[in-house]
Structures are given as structure tokens and as C-alpha cells.
Amino acid sequence: MLRPATPGDFGAIAALHTDSWRRNYRGALSDAFLDGPIEAERLAPWAERLARPGDGTVTTVAVDGDGSITGFVHTIFDADPADGALLENLHVRDSGKRAGLGTQLMASSAKAVLARPSPTGLYLTVLVQNTAAQAFYEARGGTRAGEEPWDAPDGSGGSTLVYRYTWPDPGVLL
């Protein structure tokens, strides 16, 4: 089941985000960060985001039967004048992958964008080395639009490369 995130979800979302980065972003973020302060670093931005619902962003969570959060997506409307809304974070619990949750979460993001008074396209960036997520986005009809640097949020001051994927018509995600 999907539902809008509530302010009290920040700890569970930060924990899932941390686990996902540790499993999937090794090599792109420093080991010192991934093995160290990452969870504490994730808590504050999620607490802040969820405390301000309706400020041009939407966060949706997937929950299982006992209410545990099994995935989430965060979307920022009107983030780019050309490409539209930014799907900033999409993560599914490792044990729940390939069961359709990522597809449902992307559809919820598309639905929110299309419900805006002035609907836009949808875009995201994905690490060049994250070939599994790229395969998922291509299966979801995304177009690889280019390559750009991403400032690693690990305090290293370094940057890594990401691809931009775009959906000029988010309706294809429904």
C-alpha cells in the first residue's frame, strides 16, 4: 500500500535510505561516510522535508502489512524549467526489490505531477555505475538525456558522474 509520508516517518525513511546507499552507492560515496555518519546525516534533511508538506514537494511511502516502510519516493515540482519535476529519491527495501514497488512509487510521482495546475515533465539523475537502476528507468520508458557531475554528499568535496533520465510525458508511468 502507498500513502503520503507523515512527519513521524523521518526515522524509518532515513534508515531505509541509509541501508540503500550502503548497499548500492559503494564506490560512489566514500567508505568513511558509508560506514560512519551517514544515518545521522540523513535524519536532519528528512525531518525537515517532512515537517513542511505541501511546499512544492511530495513524499510517498510504501508500507507492508505491519506498517513498516518498504520504499519511498520524493518529488520536487517545477525543479527545472526544461525537464520539470525532479524525482529526487527513490529507494525500495533490498528484500522487496523486483516486486513492482519501484514501478508503483514512480507512478505515484507521475500522478502527483499530472495533478498540478500546470503539469510538467519528470526527470531524475542516476549514478553512472548504477546500471540496475538505469535498466529499471529504461523499462519505465525513460530517455537518457545526458551526463552531469553530482557533488557527493559525503563531505569529501569530490564529485561523481550521473546520467539524467527524462519523461517529457509522465503519463507513460501510469
Ligand X SMILES: CC(C)(COP(=O)(O)OP(=O)(O)OC[C@H]1O[C@@H](n2cnc3c(N)ncnc32)[C@H](O)[C@@H]1OP(=O)(O)O)[C@@H](O)C(=O)NCCC(=O)NCCS
Binding site for ligand X (CB under 6 A): 20, 24, 90-92, 97-103, 124, 126, 130, 132-133, 135-136, 139
Residue 55: is it exposed, middle or buried by C-beta count within 10 angstroms (0-12/13-18/19+)? Answer: exposed
CB of 124 to ligand X, least distance (A): 6
Length of the chain counted residue by residue: 174
Q: Which is nearer to ligand X, 51 or 172 (CB)?
A: 172
Residue 158 C-beta-side C-alpha neighbours within 13 Å: 9
Q: Which is nearer to ligand X, 10 or 163 (CB)?
A: 163
Q: Which is nearer to ligand X, 85 or 90 (CB)?
A: 90
How far apart (Å, rounded) are the C-alpha atoms in residues 71 and 121?
23
Q: Which is nearer to ligand X, 61 or 101 (CB)?
A: 101
CB of 118 to ligand X, least distance (A): 26
Angle CA 128–123–50, to nearest 5: 100
CB of 11 to ligand X, least distance (A): 19
